[in-house]
Amino acid sequence: MSLNAKNRSASRRKSAPASPDPAAAVRFIRRHTRLQPVLAMVLGSSFREVEAVCDVDAEIPFNRVPGLPATGVEGHAGRLLVGRVGPTPVLMLSGRCHFYEGHTLADVTFPVRVAAALGVETLLLTNAAGGINPRFRPGDFMILRDHINLMGVNPLCGCGGPLPRFVDLSEAYDPELQRRLRTAARQAGARGHAGVYLAVSGPSYETPAEIRAFARLGADAVGMSTVPETIVARQCGLRVAGLSCITNLAAGRGNTAISHEEVLEAGRRAARQAGELIRHFAATFPSG
């Protein structure tokens, strides 16, 4: 191999996989609906029932949207809905693909780039999380006021293009949206706490020693998603809100082992309140 060819293949190895272009996805979505969503939401495993509060105008499986990777985890439906929650036009990304499934972070965060390219200005990210804060009980909700990224990766690594690379995260979660989520939780009769979300890559759950360490770092809940999407959303200039459903006590905080089934079941139990909470939150946006 010539020196030039060697250099070229070395630099290919070093660069992260490029994000697909969201423009094709946007054109595809616009062929299915004339609604212009003002709010997008990613529905994590405990929030899929929230689809029920959406008056759906278009429903598209993820694998039909150009560039959107299919999701493969039980509890993650993998479809895109455009419709109205009350009077508010919304984009619902129901289900997400995770880093622990082997997806690149470019894939994991692509739906966020699509939402931004579609003209959405606000993004609500939801997830299931294990409660670290001793005041948290399964079925409670946590409104993210900040995060700690311990996934060991950052979605902006290797990502070129016109958008800023050194993104400011000093107010990653919009304070006004946090207030609206707190009010919405109260209106839904849900227990809502403000807290710090710590992200790990998973897919194994944590050890009790890790959870003790995370508590010392200032984390209130732990999960395996959301942070890459927040970072990309901030890069795209979206206002971000984050909402966790506390599905279980984190490792060593309760007396039982943690299972994916338990996490899904707790999410199903909290579904009605999650729907109500999001209905009240959506009502604070213009009707478009």
Query: Is 215 an interacting residue with respect to ligand HPA (CB under 6 A)?
Result: no
Task: Identify which of 226, 204, 259, 167 has the alpha carbon closest to the alpha carbon of residue 42.
Answer: 226
**Can you give the length of the chain in residues?**
288
Catalytic residue among 101, 121, 210, 265: 101
Using CB under 6 A, pick the residue from 41, 125, 258, 282 that binds ligand HPA. 258
**Which one of 16, 58, 77, 100 is the catalytic residue?**
100
Binding of residue 250 to ligand HPA (CB under 6 A) = yes
Q: Is 9 a catalytic residue?
A: no
The answer to the question of residue 243 lying near ligand HPA (CB under 6 A) is no
Is 224 one of the catalytic residues? yes
User: Binding to ligand HPA by residue 108, rule CB under 6 A?
Assistant: no
Which listed residue (205, 214, 281, 285) binds ligand HPA by CB under 6 A? 205
Pick the binder of ligand HPA from 33, 88, 126, 248 (CB under 6 A). 248
For residue 264, state whether it binds ligand HPA (rule: CB under 6 A): no
Binding segment toward ligand HPA, per CB under 6 A, in 112-120, 154-162, 184-192, 246-254: 246-254
> 5 CB contacts (<8 Å, ≥6 apart)?
none
229/43 Cα distance (integer angstroms) = 12
For ligand HPA, the binding residue among 115, 129, 231, 233 (CB under 6 A) is 129
Q: Would you call 255 a catalytic residue per the annotation?
A: no
46 is catalytic: no
If one asks whether residue 126 binds ligand HPA (CB under 6 A), the answer comes out as: no
Catalytic residue among 41, 92, 224, 233: 224
For the question of residue 173 being annotated catalytic, the response is no
Annotated catalytic residue, options 260, 262, 265, 283: 260
> Does 172 interact with ligand HPA (rule: CB under 6 A)?
no
Using the rule CB under 6 A, give the single segment among 26-34, 51-59, 60-68, 220-228 that binds ligand HPA.
Answer: 220-228
- Which residue among 263, 270, 274, 282 contacts ligand HPA (CB under 6 A)? 263
Measured from the CB atom, is 39 or 129 closer to ligand HPA? 129
Residue 219 interacts with ligand HPA (CB under 6 A): yes or no: no
Which residue in 222, 230, 210, 214 sits closest to 263, CA to CA? Answer: 222
d(CA 225, CA 94): 14
> In this structure, what is the dihedral angle of CA atoms 143, 147, 148, 153, given to the nearest 10 degrees?
120
Of the residues 83, 130, 195, 242, which one makes contact with ligand HPA according to CB under 6 A: 130
Binding stretches for ligand HPA (CB under 6 A)? 128-130, 205-206, 222-224, 247-248, 250, 258, 263
Q: Which residues are marked as active site?
A: 45, 76, 98, 100-101, 128, 224-225, 248, 260
